[in-house]
Amino acid sequence: MLENRRILLIVSGGIAAVKVPDLIRRLRERGASVRCILTKGGAQFVTPLTLAALSGDKVYQDLFSLTEEAEMGHIRLSREADIVLVAPATADIMAKMVAGQADDLATTALLATDKPVMIAPSMNVMMWTHPATQANLQTLKTREVKVVGPSAGDLACGEVGNGRMAEVPDIIAALSRFFQKSDGQGPLTGFRALVTSGPTHEPIDPVRYIANRSSGKQGHAVAAALAELGASVTLISGPTHEPDPGGVKVTHVETARQMMKACAEALPAEIVVCAAAVADWSVNAKEQKLKKGVKTPALNLTESPDILATLSQPGPSRPGLVVGFAAETENLIENAQLKRAKKNCDWVVANDVSPGSDTFGGDSNTVHLVTAESVESWPRLRKRAVAERLAERIAAYAERHF
Ligand code: CTP
């Protein structure tokens, strides 16, 4: 997807600039050409010589350089690219982009370009969460600027939180997705995917139900990420506050049984991802509201159908790749491996849902991808980034096996 793509890479002044040499190397390995603009701040972290050596091109730094202007005017520089990537994008350069400032070569090129722009923000967590930066981010998004990352984790400043520049593979994946989309297709074009998401509600009587803490954020993000890669996605969603992802067919259900039925109706599909936190038991629900009385009512529970296990059953219509999630509070990987074998699914995304893990309802997730061959531990990532990585892995699998 990156073959022959021309990337104008603007490196602004953040510690994550040290990841840029690796980014350039990986982009060029994939056949892209990279031309760099290095800001004064960026040059504090990475040298022009390194960037020039790795990109195989001159590095542009100075707006008022006669030689640079004579060789390549800054307007031409900003136009002779298929995309402008700002990595790392500091709070300062984001603010300047919003304000339309043009006081150096980088900001001038950004103002003068008629090409799509992608930013990979990188900064301290307080700077990232500051209302000014968040407002700037929203403005940039409304101007169609693509955003990759940041992720959560240890920051170079010693603090912990959101603000780490997206990892190199994630930036590459975002660029690939962008070009695929602009070509009107993706690696999963032509494939059908079925995704379950959210909790289920099991009624006790007309006003009460049993629920769980699932927010649906992860499952919805998986559906969106698969659609972004071109799959035709059906999302079967339990009750959540998440908006329906764009470009995805959504069926809303309430109970485990309804989810099972909707999944059966949505088949056939080549790819299934069961991210829903399906209630393990349903209640023999009363038709009338239970009234307080002398005797406290006992709940008569019946086991729900196991959707993942049902969809994984061997047979001619079994989807080619079935992925489950494992929500565990102890022995995470061991339990996930057991679950994979027991339910006969191909992969399990294991996540820790212990109190304090902030998995249920939170925006980030630390997961392990458990397959028959290996266990891959991913760093703590935004749920959207987890979904994008998973979709990438699914696309790679589909390319090899389907
Ligand atoms: N799952 C399902 N149908 C169910 C229960 C679970 O499809 N009735 C799926 C979930 O969507 C998830 C996987 O099975 O992909 C594992 O769910 P999890 O809640 O971790 O495990 P359980 O099977 O419920 O087992 P336990 O609660 O004993 O850990």
71-126: per-residue pLDDT in tens?
Answer: 777 788 888 999 999 999 999 999 999 999 999 999 999 999 999 999 999 999 99
CATH ID of 192-401, from 3.30.750.24, 3.40.50.261, 3.40.1260.10, 3.40.50.10300: 3.40.50.10300
Q: Could you tell me the distance, in angstroms and rounded to a whole number, from the CA of residue 236 to the centre of ligand 1?
A: 15
Give the angle subtended at the CA of 86 by the CAs of 81 and 90, to the nearest 5°: 160
**Can you tell me which atom of ligand 1 is nearest the CA of 307?**
7
Per-residue pLDDT, 258: 98
CATH 3.40.50.1950 fits 6-182, yes or no: yes
pLDDT at 281: 97
Residue 140: Cβ within 10 Å count: 19
* Best residue for ligand 1 mutational test, from 202, 212, 308 (most atoms within 8 Å of Cβ): 308
Atom of ligand 1 minimally distant from the CA of 308: 7
Nearest atom within ligand 1 for CA of residue 305 = 8
Give the pLDDT of residue 361.
Answer: 77
Q: List the one residue out of 67, 74, 175 whose CA is nearest residue 117.
A: 175
Per-residue model confidence (pLDDT) at position 369: 97
Q: How much is the pLDDT for 399?
A: 84
Domain positions in the chain: 6-182, 192-401
The confidence score (pLDDT) of residue 236 equals 98
CA of 326 to the centre of ligand 1 (A): 7
Say which residues have a Cβ less than 8 Å from residue 70's Cβ, sequence separation at least 6: none
Determine the distance separating the centroid of ligand 1 and the alpha carbon of 339, expressed in angstroms.
Answer: 8
Give the closest residue to 81 by CA, choosing from 120, 33, 119: 33
Q: pLDDT at position 338, please? A: 97
Set 157, 263, 274, 345: catalytic member: 157
- Indicate which residue's Cα is closest to atom 9 of ligand 1: 308
Pocket of ligand 1 (CB under 6 A): 196, 256, 274, 276-278, 280, 304, 306-308, 324-327, 339
Ligand 1, from 196, 307, 337, 357: best to mutate by most atoms within 8 Å of Cβ? 307
Q: How far, in Å, from the CA of 371 to the mean position of ligand 1?
A: 17
**Which pLDDT value is given to residue 162?**
82
**Contacts (Cβ under 8 Å, ≥6 apart) of 282:** 202, 255, 256, 257, 301, 302, 304
Are 99 and 92 spatial neighbours (Cβ–Cβ below 8 Å)?
no
Among 280, 312, 323, which is best to mutate for testing ligand 1, by the most ligand atoms less than 8 A from CB? 280
> Is the Cβ–Cβ distance between 8 and 81 less than 8 Å?
yes
> Do the first three CATH levels of 6-182 and 192-401 match, i.e. the same topology?
yes
Neighbours of 377 (CB within 10 A): 12
Angle at which helix 131-142 crosses helix 91-99, to 10 degrees, equals: 50
What pLDDT, on a 0 to 100 scale, did the predictor assign at position 134?
96
CA of 278 from ligand 1 middle (Å) equals: 6
The one-character DSSP state at 359 is -
Say what the pLDDT of residue 73 is.
Answer: 76
pLDDT at residue 390, as a whole number: 98
In this predicted structure, what is the pLDDT of residue 310? 98
Report which residue type is found at 389.
R
Instruction: Please state the atom number of ligand 1 nearest to the C-alpha of residue 335.
Output: 29
Nearest C-alpha to atom 14 of ligand 1 is from which residue? 308
Task: Give pLDDT < 50 ranges for the chain.
Answer: none
157 among known catalytic residues: yes
